[in-house]
Chains A and B, each alone.
Chain A
């Protein structure tokens, strides 16, 4: 079982907080698509032996490419790889880049899941984020997707914006739920290095909300979405039962995936590698018949273990029996850490399995660090 990720490196306009690789120049689209198809053909033959269960168009903004182009790419993928009978095929789309009939075309080319970059239902927030769309466009896009027949819709939201109060956020998340999306991703705004936002924060023109408020917003999302029947299956991801993103879940289970397009990452058998984060280099490599590889890392067993602990805890649990079998780690027999964490209401623990509480999710990184520090093969 494996996945394929396709990175579409175009956006109508760069958002101030974004550190994904994308460019605003659309003139290279045609060339990019034909290179991507070549990259698919250049891919290592081992991938032909895998059964591909998920395909994911991410970006950038995949919806700036015409559905026809997306269809062509999908066809090339089908030609090259062994696709399972009922794959999960997702496309990220952004309101403001899409016209209603696109959805029908997506469906007919085999796409069965859309992830909509809504971010907020407040114009003020959207303006702050320098998104190209407004709240009503966001609403319409969701409705269009549903009307066109999509029955697996994900909505992306961002909270902890300087323009938001806790009440604003509560309102946004309630609005999102009203659409009955199968999946919601709610991300705390991250100030990434070298983005316009980080410069604004540094210069003091923007003040990021205190951790205290961020934590309240996070806690509210967890609580409210759970009440509404959503399962909190990863720090920032919630879904109706059985509607998790299979593609993303595979990342967090160290399943193999092949990333195509500039900056895309791939993983297989302890090896991670990534493509050039620059469309020029990417196109040049492919023109020369080369894989557009930028770098790679081979994970030591210890590194694999670290990632696995981190992934598992981000998914709200830690399976000690599994870790002990797979990595031969030694646990403190007195279980002092576990007792402390239970006492402080960060985890529940039963039969070798740790489960994060709501409070535990808020401190997930800290807990990960503590578990890793307590293991003694490291």
Chain B
């Protein structure tokens, strides 16, 4: 982990020195480390992306955004004749349009970024890749997410299965395609259980918060007036009290709700892995709710409490989790898996970089 820390710190120092422009090269170095320290069947992954590819991708995304802004400006001048209607100005049109296209584009970028990363990944010298259209994925993902919102999240299994499928079954190692054979029906029962337990947990947490909050206020003889004063003339004490209250509420909710979430996530992850395969290689994992807690909650806290400096530690924990919990059965027939002759995505992850959704 020391090596990873040194690479990460170097990246952060350069980020501050270059006001962020070194991030393309820093990310590349971090990926080289992470990829090459992860192996399957004794063979390490190899990352051969270049920082300048990410830079070009970023610049392309910027050009696209500028083009869009120009288009909006033309629309403003020629369609609206520079007249705001109902206090709706040029700036509002632009920001609204960015929100409207930004949501689908984030998904497009996500898929395109995955394609880029896979195209720069090698295993046993064989390039990986991702087929399929990022735009199609963006449209499907937007539609499904919207439908899920309209049905108070009850479509979550349909959404997750249908978003996981293209990302897995379009991925390949050379000529060997991966496959995903899951279906939403399999996980619906568990999801509904999680859904209603979640509602119960929220109600319990809110009730508990009120009970605790009320009794503390009584105990210290606080009135609403005192509370108001506390916030209108903030002192160090107020800030500390507010922080303590926030931590208390956070703990209460996390104790009731996050374990449930981890329980569902662990189940979903086990399902996802065990329903994926690559040729005659089968995958499996027995990741537990507790391990998922460590992955989702503890990792989050580590990054938060170290102001981001704990990130390499989190990555290290994640590598260990993958190494320990991803099991393979069977071996690929090496001779039948061949290198593909087509290249892969030529540019970096412009859209992804712009929306800043890439975990790695």
Bound pair (A, B): no
Chain B interface residues toward A at CB < 8 A: none
Binding site for B on A (CB under 8 A): none
